[in-house]
Amino acid sequence: MFHKVIILSLGIFALTGCDAQKKSKINTKASEMQTNPRATNSNNQKDGVLYLSEGENKFLREYQMNVTFKGVSEDSRCPEGVNCIWAGAALAQVEVMGTSTRPMTLNLASIDYPGRNYRQSAEFNGYIITLQDITPYPKQQDGAKALAGKYKIGITIKKADQSTDSTKK
């Protein structure tokens, strides 16, 4: 009987200790999120650049458009630590949809290269959407295939210049 009481009290003591550990981990994460603004705003707009992770979707009220980073269809950028003839390019697929338009997939490249029809910017619904950043950069040992699902992009959205409209004189 005495053994059962000791085992029962040790079990209760162990469960109480586990609960205290869980509470301290939650409190630590909450304080880290409050003290580290980058952790909470890592995908928000900074300096006019909107950051999106692969597969992420955001509705931008200011532009009345929905933006989804679908993925990277091509990444031929030269890996770090390798000497290449051409720097290469990454091609991100960004789906945009206005509140009164159908969805449209834009292929935004990390560099402008008209010879391969790579464009860093595209126009949609009166706005110019430009790819500013795509990370991570391929590494020599892993290559671009190891980065699938880990990409993040930075885009800017600006009102298209109305003065270049050929219908106005």
CA–CA separation, 39 and 44 (whole Å): 10
142/135 Cα distance (integer angstroms): 14
Would you state the pLDDT for residue 29?
Answer: 44
**pLDDT tens, position by position, 48-100:** 889 999 999 999 999 999 999 998 888 888 887 788 888 888 899 999 999 88
Close Cβ partners of 119 (under 8 Å, ≥ 6 residues apart): 107, 108, 109, 112
Beta-carbon count within 10 A of 126 CB: 11
Sign of CA dihedral 129, 132, 135, 137: positive
HSE-CB at 100 with a 13 A cutoff on CA atoms is 2
Q: What is the structure's pLDDT at 58?
A: 94
How do residues 138-161 score in pLDDT, each as one tens digit? 777 665 556 676 889 999 999 888
Check residues 24 and 13 and name the one with the higher pLDDT. 13
pTM strictly above 0.85:
no
pLDDT-based confidence at 43, cuts 50/70/90? very low
**Mean pLDDT to the nearest integer, 34-53:** 59
